[in-house]
Structure 1
Amino acid sequence: MSQAATQSVLDGVRDLLPTFRDRADEAERLRVVPESSVKELEETGFFRLLQPRRFDGLEADPVDFYTAVRDVASACGSTGWVSSVVGVHPWQVALFADEAQQAVWGEDTATRLSSSYAPTGKATVTDGGYRLSGKWSFSSGCDHCQWVLLGGLVFNEDGNVVDFKTFMLPRKDYAILDVWHMVGLSGTGSNDILVEDVFVPEAFTLSMGETGQCRGPGQAQNPSDLYKLPFHSIFTGTITTPIIGIAMGAYDDHVAMQQQRTRAAYLGEKASLDPFSAVRIARASSEIDAAWALLVNNIREEQEYVAKGERIPLKTRLKVRRDQVIGSQRAIDAIDSLFEASGGRALAEGTPLQRAWRDAHAGRVHAANDPERALQMYGAHEFGHKIDPGMY
C-alpha cells in the first residue's frame, strides 16, 4: 500500500475532528464511544493502519498511526483512547499463528478486537491447548469488538506457573459486564470481561516471552519490518499518544479561551495580555512538543535497527519506556498548568478543558504509565544490572 493510502486515512480522520468534538458529551453520557463515530473511523480505514496487507490492511508506519490517534484524542479523549487501543490490536494479531489470523479476518477483514492484558485469568494446560477462566477489567471499546485478547498465567498439572500468554477468544466465548462508571475517560466503555472454563487452542495463544524477543509465528506470513518492533514499545505508545493528544486539544482550548477572557479581579485586564499567562503557555507547549518528539524519535530509532536487520539494543528499548512514561507526565503537567490558569469558567460541565483534565488523569493510572518501574529499569541497566528484555 502506498503512502498516499495512509495519507488518505489521516486526512479523513482530520475531517472528522469537529464531529468528534461535538459528540464528546454524548460519549460521556453513553459511557461508550458512539457507534456512529466507530463507523466513521472504520470508513476512513483507520482500523486497518496496522493490519497486514494480506487482510486488506495498510501495514502503515506506526508514527502515522500515532498521528491519527493524537488527532482524534485532541477532539475527544475517550474516542482517542478507544481508537488507539482497538486500532493497535491488528499489529499483535499479525504475530499469531496463521490459523488464528484466518479465524479473525478470513471472512471479514473489518473484524475488531479489544483487550485486557493483566494476567488476572488462569489457564491450565490440556490436550491441544488450554482451559481458561477469569475476569478481566478495563477492556476499552469492547462493545464495538467481536474478539478479545486476554492475558493469563499458564499453570501445569503441579500448579506451577510455566508461561504468561495472550489468549484470543471470539465473542461467543466471553461475557461483557457493564461496570464502567468513571469520572475520567468515561466514554471508553472499558468494561469487564468474564470467561468461564473455555477451551483455547494453542494456535490462538501467544507467549509474552516470545513476544518480548520480537518474535511470533505470524511473521512467517507477515514479514514486514512493522511486525519486528518490540511489543512493549508499540503498545505503551498507544497509551501515551492519546494523553499527548488530549493535551494538544486542551492547549488549543486554553489559548482560545484566554483570548476572549477578561479578568475582573485585575480591573478587566485581558488575560491574553498577562505576561505570566504567556510564559505558562510557552512552557506547556514545550512540554507537549517534547513528549511527542521523543515518542516519534524513539520509534524511528528502533525502525532503523530493524531495517538493517540488527537486534534492537536493550538500552534503546528501555529508553523508549523511559521517555514514554515521562511523556505521559509531561502532557499531564501541561494540562494541569493550563487548567490552573483558566479561571472558574473552565470548571463548568461540558467545557472541553475540564474534560481533558479528567481524561488525562484517568489515562495516567494505566499500568503502562507506572513511571517508577520503567525508570528504575532504565537506571538499573545503566548501572550494569541484568534486566529481563521480555518486559520491555
Structure 2
Amino acid sequence: MTAARSLPADGHPSPPEPGLTADEVVARAERIAAGLVDRQQETEERGYYGLETHNELLNAGFYRLLVPRRYGGYEFGLDTYLRVVTALAAGCPSTAWMYTFGASHAHVAASLFGEAAQDELFAGGDFICPATVGPVGFAERAEDGGWIVDGVHRYSSGSPYATHFIGHTLVAGGEGEPPAPMLFVVPRDQWERLDDWGAQLGLKGSGSHSVKIDHAHIPAHFALPGTHMGVTSVVEGTPGFALHGNPLYGGGVLSMIQFQVGALAVGMASGALEAYGRLMLDRTTIYPPIVPRAEDPDFQLHYGEAAGRIAAARAALTDAVRQWHETAERGSAAFTREVDLKLSLISSEALRLAWSAVADHLFPTAGSSAVRTGERIERIWRDMSTLHSHGGVSVFLAKLAGRELAAEVFGLAHP
C-alpha cells in the first residue's frame, strides 16, 4: 500500500494529521460506510449526500487524499484512495460516486497544471472538483490573454460541495483547421449548480447535477490544450512530477480515471453480496425441503459464484493499480498511451465481473421481496445498471478504448 511520498515545501502547510496512515484511512472508510446504508433513502431523495456525511468525509481527511503534501494534502497512492472508494461504495453507491468524482480530480489538477495554477487551486487544502469530458460551446480570448468560457455542463458528479469545476470547451483552429478541445478549471464562485438531478433509474443521490457557467473569465494558466482523457499525454513528463517529485503525479491520467469505475463496481457488488448473505441466514427456501437458504445447495452455488467473480474483479483491479504505480516509478516516458489503455481495459473487465455477479446470481435469486423499491439489493442493481449508461463506460471503455489500443499496437491511425 502506497503511503505519502514527499515532504511539504518551506512555507507550505502540513496536513491536519501528519501521522495519518493508509491503514487508518481505509479503516475510517469502512466505519463510515457502515453508517451510510441507513441514509441511502434520504440521499436519493435529496439528490446528494447530506451535510452529516460531507462532514464525516471532511473530518476523515478524504478530500485531501490525493492533494499534494505541499498544499496540506496527504498525497496517498492510488491504491489507498481506491480502497476508500470501494469501501464507501459497499455502503452507499451514490455517496461513493459523488465522493470520488469530486475528490479524484485533485490528481488531474496536481499532475497536469503548473505551479501557479496549483498554488491557487489547492490554497484551501480540501479539493472537490467535478469534471466532464464532452466539450461545451466555444471559448473566447480575453484581453489579458485568459479565456471567457460559458455553457451548461451536464452530469457534473460531485458538484453539491465542490470547490472547483473542470470542464472542456472548443477553441477555434487555424484557417481550414477544425476546432480543438481545451480543458479548463473554474472556481466555485464562477458557476451555478442547477437543480436537475435525481430522476434517473439509479445513482439518484450521486450529486450529478449540471453546472452552468455564464461567461466566466479564467486566467490563461487555468486552461490546457486537449482533454484529461483523450489527448493529454504524460510521456514527456508532467508539471506535477517536476513540482512534487512524486511519480504519483507523473503517471497516466486516463487509466486513473477509469480505475474509479472498477472500484465503484467492486464496492457495489460487495455490498450486494453482504446483503445476499444475510438473506441466506434469515430466510428459507420456498420449495421442500424447507431449510435455511444457507443450507441449500443452489443458494450456496449462487453465493459462491458471485463471491468468486467479485474476488476476481478486486484482484484484477488491485493488480492494475500495482502496474500503474510500477510504471509511474519508471518515469513518465514509460507511461505510453498503449499502457494507459491496457490498464483502463483491466478496470473494464473488473466492472464486467462485478456486474455479472449481481445481474446473473444475486439479483435474480434474492427473491421478489428482496428487490422491492428501497431494498438494498434492488438499489444496488439500479445503481449498477445506471453505471453502465455513463459515457466513460458505455462509449469509451465499451467501444473506443479497445479500437484505439489495437491501433496503437499496430501503428495505425486512431479510429
Tell me the TM-score normalised to structure 1 length.
0.92
The answer as to 2:204 corresponding to 1:191 is no
Greater fraction helix? 1
Distance in 1 between residues matched to 2:240 and 2:413, nearest whole Å: 27
Deviation at 1:157, TM superposition (A): 6.9
| 2:379 equivalent among 338, 355, 359 | 355
Query: Does structure 1 residue 289 correspond to structure 2 residue 289?
Result: no
The equivalent of 1:102 in structure 2 is: 119
Determine the structure 2 residue equivalent to 1:118: 134
- Paired amino acid for 1:55: Y
Amino acid at match of 1:281: Y
> Are 1:33 and 1:189, in contact at CA under 8 Å, matched by a contact in 2?
yes
State the partner residue of 2:51.
Answer: 35
Query: What is the CA–CA distance in structure 1 between the aligned matches of 2:294 and 2:305, rounded to whole Å?
Result: 15
Q: Which moved more, 1:208-217 or 1:76-85?
A: 208-217
CA distance in 1, matches of 2:108, 2:407: 29
Q: How far apart, CA to CA, are the structure 2 residues paired with 1:146 and 1:305? A: 31
Report how far residue 96 of structure 1 moved. Answer: 1.1
Distance 2:285 2:205 in 1: 33
Q: Identify if the C-alpha distance between structure 1 residues 376 and 323 changes in structure 2 by more than 3 Å, giving closer, same or farther.
A: same
Q: Does 1:307 align with 2:329?
A: yes
What is the CA–CA distance in structure 1 between the aligned matches of 2:413 and 2:308, rounded to whole Å? Answer: 32
Spell out, residue by residue over 1:227-283, the C-alpha distance to the aligned partner (whole angstroms, 9 max, x if none): 111111111111221121001110111111122111224453332222222222222
CA shift for structure 1 position 80: 0.9
Cα distance change of structure 1 residues 185 and 387 upon mapping to structure 2, 3 Å threshold: farther
CA displacement, residues 304-334 of structure 1 (integer Å, 9 cap, x when unaligned) = 2222335134443222122222221221111
The 1-side partners of 2:176 and 2:51 are apart by 43
Give the match for residue 338 of structure 1. Answer: 362
The corresponding residue for 1:71 is: 87
Aligned-residue offset at 1:197? 2.2
Which amino acid is 1:201 matched to?
P
C-alpha offsets along residues 9-29 of structure 1, whole Å, 9 cap, x if unaligned? 222222212211111111011
| 2:190 paired residue among 173, 177, 184 | 173
Counterpart CA distance in 2 for 1:117 and 1:367 is 9
Question: Structure 2 counterpart of 1:334, which letter?
Answer: A
Change (3 A) 1:313 1:169: closer
Change (3 A) 1:161 1:224: farther
Alpha-carbon separation, structure 2, partners of 1:272 and 1:259: 6
In the other structure, the counterpart of 2:13 is none
Helix, strand or coil: the match of 1:221?
A: helix
Distance 1:130 1:14 in 2: 43
In the alignment, does 2:155 pair up with 1:138?
yes
Tell me what 1:86 maps to: 102
Stretches of structure 2 that go unaligned for 5 or more consecutive residues are 6-18
Q: Secondary structure at the match of 1:135?
A: strand
Which residue is equivalent to 2:246? 224
Letter in 2 for 1:185: L
Partner of residue 218, structure 2: 200
The Cα shift of 1:340 comes to 0.4
Q: In the alignment, residue 324 of structure 1 is paired with which amino acid?
A: S
| More deviation, 239-248/272-281 | 272-281
Q: 1:250 to 1:159 in 2, by over 3 A?
A: farther
- Letter of the aligned partner of 1:192 in structure 2? S
Does the aligned pair in 1 maintain the 2:67–2:125 contact within 8 Å?
no
Distance 2:222 2:408 in 1: 34
Residue 60 of structure 1 aligns with which residue?
A: 76
Q: Which amino acid aligns with 1:99?
A: A
Q: Take 1:69 and 1:212, find their aligned partners in 2: how far apart are those partners?
A: 26
Question: In structure 2, do the counterparts of structure 1 residues 93 and 9 end up closer, same or farther at CA, with 3 Å as the change threshold?
Answer: same
* Contact 1:33–1:141 under 8 Å retained in 2: no
Distance (whole Å) between structure 2 residues aligned to residue 111 and residue 232 of structure 1: 20
| Structure 2 counterpart of 1:322 | 345
Give the strand-richer structure, 1 or 2: 1
Give the counterpart of 2:294 among 272, 276, 282.
Answer: 272
TM-score, normalised relative to structure 2: 0.87
C-alpha displacement at 1:60, in angstroms? 0.7
Paired with 2:175 and 2:338, the residues of 1 have a C-alpha distance of 37
CA offset digits 1:39-74 (Å, max 9, x no partner) = 101111111111100111111110110001000000
Tell me if the contact between 1:125 and 1:155 (Cα under 8 Å) persists in the aligned partners.
no
The whole-number CA distance in structure 1 between the counterparts of 2:29 and 2:95 is 12
Q: Is the alpha carbon distance of 1:25 and 1:207 closer, same or farther for their aligned partners in structure 2, counting shifts above 3 Å?
A: same
Q: Of the candidates 273, 276, 279, which is equivalent to residue 251 of structure 1? A: 273
Q: What is the distance in 2 between the residues matched to 1:386 and 1:292?
A: 33
Cα distance in 2 for residues equivalent to 1:157 and 1:374: 29
- Structure 1 unaligned regions, length at least 5: none
Please tell me whether residue 375 in structure 1 is matched to residue 396 in structure 2. Answer: no
SS in 2 for 1:115: coil
Question: Separation in 1 of the partners of 2:184 and 2:122?
Answer: 17
Matched residue SS, 2:84: helix
Could you report, residue by residue, the CA deviation over 1:130-179 in whole angstroms, capped at 9, with x for unpaired residues? 22122111111201112111122222475854532221111222121111
Cα RMSD for the two superposed structures: 2.2
Alpha-carbon separation, structure 2, partners of 1:331 and 1:270 = 26
Distance 1:156 1:376, change over 3 A: closer
Q: CA deviation at 1:110?
A: 2.0
